[in-house]
Amino acid sequence: MNRVAPGAAPLHDAVSARGLTKSYGDRVAVDGIDFEVDPGICFGFLGPNGAGKTTTMKMIYGLATVDGGELSVLGMDATRERRVIKSRLGVVPQETNLDADLTVRENLLQQARYFGIDPGKAAERASELLDFSLIGDRADDRVHALSGGMKRRLLISRALMGDPELVVLDEPTTGLDPQARLAVWGALDRLRRRGVTLLLTTHYMEEAERLCDRLVIMDEGRIVAEGRPADLVRSHVGREVLELKLDEGCDPDRLIASLDGRIQGHDLSERTLMLYADNAEAVLEQLDHDAFPTESALARRATLEDVFLRLTGRSLRE
Amino acid sequence: MAMLEEPGYAGIGPRVPLRELVPIPRLAGAVWLRNARVFSKLWRGALLPTFLDPFLYLLALGFGLGTYVAHINGIPYKDFIAPGLIASAAMWSSAFETTYNVYFRMNELRLYDNVLSTPVEVQDLVAGDLAWSATRATVYGIVVLAVIAIFGLVSSWWALLIPPFVLLGALCFSVIGYAFTTLIPKIDLYSYFFTLFITPMFLFSGLFFPFSKLPEWVHVVAWFMPLYHLVEITRGLATGPEFWSVIGNSAWLVALTALLFTIPVRALRKKLVA
C-alpha cells in the first residue's frame, strides 16, 4: 500500500502548513498554524471541542477551503490540486456516513467507483479489506445491522479502497467500547506497518500516547504544543504526579510554599491539587501531614492527559 | 419530520470558474450508478404509484370529463390530455427525486460529505444526481406512454421519439428541484415548492385545456413553465409533430437547464465545501 521505502529520503512532507487560517463568519476556527507531518508516521491532533482540529482535517481532505496561509498535502497545493490530492487520500469522518441503502460490500464497491477503480479489481480489494477489518462474514448484511464498532471498521475499510498514501481519521474511536477500540487500534497499527501516513484527531489521551509518533495540542485555533508524546509529558509536567485531595482546613498556597524547590509545578482545581515532580512518592513522604491534612493522596506516572489539561485548562469549553 | 436536523441556509455561494462547472462523465456516472443500484432494489414499490397516478387522471378526466368535453382543437379530449400525462409523470418524478430523496441523501445519510472527499467534485455529484433523476423520470414516462398506447390514445409513430425528449424535460425539472433543495434551510419549505410551483404548473401548462381563449398574460406565464414546453413536444409527437415546434420547445428546455445548472453547483459548494 505504501510507496515510502524504509530508509529512502522522502521527497516532501505528507502534510505541511504555514500560517494556515480559516474563519467561519466572525469566528476564527484555525488561527495561523504551522506544522509538518513526515511521511509514514502517525500524527495526532489533540484539543478540546472547538479547538480547530476537525476544520484543519477538512482543509486537508478538501471539504473546507483555505482562507489564508499555505497548506500542502503530499507535496501539492491543497486548493489548486484538490482533486488529485483526494485521489490519494482516505478519510474516516467523525460522523458515520455509510450508505444505509447498500450492503456492507456494496458500500466498498461504490467507493471504488468514485475512485475510478475497475470492477474486477474493486471486488478483489473489497474482499481483502473486509478481512482486514474483520467484517468479512458480514459482507452481505445491510449496514444498519452492524454494531458501532463494525461500522467504524467498515469506515476504515472504505477509506482504504482508493489505496491511499495518507489516511485522515477524525475521532476514529469515539463512542466505542474497549474491545471495539482495541480492534480499531489493531487496524491502525497494521496500516502504519505498511507505511501509510496516519493523521488522527482524538479526545482519548491514552489513544494518542499509544498510536501517535508525534502530535500537536490545539486550543482556540492555535497550536499550543508540538512533539513526541513522551517528550511533551517530560517537558510540560515531569515524570510523576502527586494528586492530593485536600481537606477543608488545608491551605493550598502554604502547602505549595512548604515544598519549595521539590516540585516542578502545580495545578489546583476545586479541592484537588496536582503536584508535578520527578519522584512523587518522595514528595508525599516529605509532606507535613499534620499541617496539611488531605483526604487522599495518589502518586502516579505523569501522562499526556496532565499535559493536555495543563495547556488547555480544566474548565468546560462548551 | 421535526426530528430532522436542519441544514440551515448557506446561500447561493460565489461564482465559480467554468472548469469547476464542467463535470467529468466517469465520476458523474459513478454517482448515477449508486442511485440506480438503490433504485433497482426498490423499484417495484416505487414504480406502482407513479404508474397509477396518470392512469387515474386518464380515467377521471379522459373517460369521465371527456364524455362532456368531446373535442379540443379537433381531437378527442382523452387523446388531447393523454400525451401530456407522460410529461407530467416525468415532472412529478423529477420533483420528488430532487427534493425529498436528495435532501435525505444529503442531510440525513450525509452521503455527500463522503462522496466529496473522494475525487468526485460538486459538479460531478450534481450532474450524476440530475442524470439519475432524469433517467428515473424517463422510465416513468415510458411506462405512461405504454399505457396510453394500449388505450389507443397514440396516433402517430413519431411517439417512439418521445423518451429522449422526456429525458430532456426531466433534466430541466430536476435542475429546478435540485436548486431548491440546495438553497432551502429546512425541509418544511418543500410544501411551498409543490403548492406554489409544481401543482400550478401541472394544472396550467396546457395539459388539461388549451390557452387559446384565455387572456394574453396566461400565455406569457405558461411560456415560462417547462412543463408547457414538454407537453407541447409530447402532444406533438403523439399526434403527428410540427418539426419547428419540437425544435423550438426543446431549445427552450436546453437553455433553461444549462442556465440553472450553476445554481445547485454553487449552492452545494457553499454548503458542503465552505
Q: How far apart are the first and last CA of chain A?
A: 40
Ranges of H-type helices in chain A:
53-60, 82-87, 104-114, 119-132, 148-160, 178-193, 205-211, 229-236, 252-258, 280-286, 304-312
pLDDT digits (tens, 9 = 90+) for A204-229: 898 999 999 999 999 999 999 999 99
How many residues appear in chain B? 274
User: What is the pLDDT, as a whole number, of residue B4?
Assistant: 43
Q: Which residues of chain A have pLDDT under 50?
A: 1-4, 7
User: What is the pLDDT, as a whole number, of residue B122?
Assistant: 96
The predicted model gives B79-105 an average pLDDT of: 94
Identify all chain B residues contacting A82, using CB atoms and an 8 Å cutoff. Answer: 121
pLDDT digits (tens, 9 = 90+) for B49-75: 767 887 888 888 888 887 887 788 888
Instruction: Give the three cell numbers for residue B182.
Output: 440546495
pLDDT digits (tens, 9 = 90+) for B3-50: 444 566 777 888 888 888 899 999 999 999 999 999 998 887 777 776
Burial (CB < 10 A; 0-12, 13-18, 19+), residue A178, is exposed
User: What is the pLDDT, as a whole number, of residue B8?
Assistant: 67
User: What is the pLDDT, as a whole number, of residue A316?
Assistant: 66
As beta bridge partners, residue A268 has: A273
**Of A108, A170, A106, A96, the residue nearest A142 (C-alpha):** A106
**Cβ distance of A99 and B118 shorter than 8 Å:** no
The full 3-state SS of chain B, as one line of letters, equals: CCCCCCCCCCCCCCCCCHHHCCCCHHHHHHHHHHHHHHHHHHHHHHHHHHHHHHHHHHHHHHHHHHHCCCEECCEEHHHHHHHHHHHHHHHHHHHHHHHHHHHHHHHHCCHHHHHCCCCCCHHHHHHHHHHHHHHHHHHHHHHHHHHHHHCCCCCCHHHHHHHHHHHHHHHHHHHHHHHHHHHCCCHHHHHHHHHHHHHHHHHCCCCCCCCCCCCHHHHHHHHCCHHHHHHHHHHHHHHCCCHHHHHHHHHHHHHHHHHHHHHHHHHHHHHHCC
Identify all chain A residues contacting B116, using CB atoms and an 8 Å cutoff. Answer: 62-63
Whether the predicted pLDDT of B261 surpasses 90: yes
Q: How far is Cα A98 from Cα A141, in angstroms, rounded to an integer?
A: 13
Whether the predicted pLDDT of B145 surpasses 80: yes
Mutate which of A66, A97, A117 to disrupt the B interface (most B C-beta within 10 Å)? Answer: A97
**Cβ distance of A113 and B34 shorter than 8 Å:** yes
Cβ–Cβ contact B242 with A under 8 A: no
User: What is the pLDDT, as a whole number, of residue A225?
Assistant: 94
pLDDT digits (tens, 9 = 90+) for B154-190: 888 999 999 999 999 999 999 999 999 999 988 889 9
Q: What is the DSSP string of A59-126?
A: HHTTSS---EEEEEETTEETTTTHHHHHHTEEEE-SS----TTSBHHHHHHHHHHHTT--HHHHHHHH
> What percent of chain B has pLDDT above 70?
96
User: What is the pLDDT, as a whole number, of residue B6?
Assistant: 57
Residue A25 DSSP one-character state: T
The residues on A that touch B, with CB distances below 8 Å, are 24, 61-65, 82-84, 86-87, 89, 91, 93, 95, 97, 99-102, 106, 110-111, 113-116, 158, 162
Contact A239, A302 (CB under 8 A): yes
User: What is the pLDDT, as a whole number, of residue A114?
Assistant: 97
- Angle among Cα B4, A106, B143 to the nearest 5 degrees reads 75
Q: How far is Cα B265 from Cα B14, in angstroms, rounded to an integer?
A: 10
Whether the predicted pLDDT of B78 surpasses 60: yes
User: What is the pLDDT, as a whole number, of residue A166?
Assistant: 97
Nearest residue, CB atoms, B118 vs list A95, A101, A162: A162
Please state the ipTM of this predicted complex: 0.89
User: What is the pLDDT, as a whole number, of residue B17?
Assistant: 83
- Taking the CA of residue B49 and the nearest CA in chain A, the distance in Å comes to 21
Q: Give the residue with greater pLDDT, A317 vs B192.
A: B192
Mutate which of A22, A89, A95, A101 to disrupt the B interface (most B C-beta within 10 Å)? Answer: A101
